[in-house]
Amino acid sequence: MAAKRLSPVIRVSGLVIGVAVITIDQLTKQAAVDGLTGRDPVVLIEGVLQLRLAFNRGAAFSTATSMTELLTVLATVVSIALVFAIVRTTSTTWALSLGLLLGGAAGNLVDRLTREPGFGRGAVVDFLEFPGFPVFNIADSAIVVAAVAIVVINFRGVPFRPPRTPGASPASDAP
C-alpha cells in the first residue's frame, strides 16, 4: 500500500521542481533586467563569471533567431508533453529530471510569451557569462543539468515505469 501512496508524491515532486525552476528563473531574469539594463558587464568572479544582459530571440547559442514563433510553439508542446510524462512516471529520478527539464523549457517559454517584441515573439533574457561561453540563464542551466541526468539514468537502466507484475503495486527507485 505504501508504494501506491508514494506515486502521487513522486509526480508532485517533479512538478514542484518545475515550478521552482520557473520561479527562480523568472525572478533572476527580472533582477538582471532591473539591475543590468544600460550597464557594462558586472564581474562577479574575475576571469570566471560575470553578469552581462543579453536578449536572445533564437535557440541555444542564438541560432534560429528568425524562427522565434516556431520555437515558441515547440517549447509549448515540449512543456505540455513533459507535464504528461511527469504525471505518468513512477520513478523519482525520472520525475525530478523531467521536472528540471520542464522548468527550463517553460522558464524560457514565459519570456517568449511575455517579453518584447510581443506575444510568442519575445526574446529570452540571458545574463550569466563564463569566459568564452555564450551568455545563458537559470532555465538554460536547468535544461543542461536535466539532459545530463537523463543520460545518466538511462545508462543506469532506471525504468521510466517499471514493468508491473500481476498483483504487485507500483514501486519507485531510490533517488
140 included as an active-site residue: yes
Rounded Cα gap, residues 142 and 97, in angstroms: 9
34 included as an active-site residue: no
| C-alpha distance across the termini of the chain, in Å | 20
β-pair partners for 56: 124
In the set 34, 40, 126, 173, the catalytic residue is 126
Q: Which amino acid appears at position 105 of this protein?
A: A
In the set 25, 34, 40, 140, the catalytic residue is 140
- For 56, phi and psi rounded to 5 degrees? -115, 115
User: Rounded to the nearest 10 degrees, what angle do helices 2-36 and 138-156 cross at?
Assistant: 150
Rounded Cα gap, residues 125 and 28, in angstroms: 10
Q: List, by residue number, the catalytic residues.
A: 126, 140
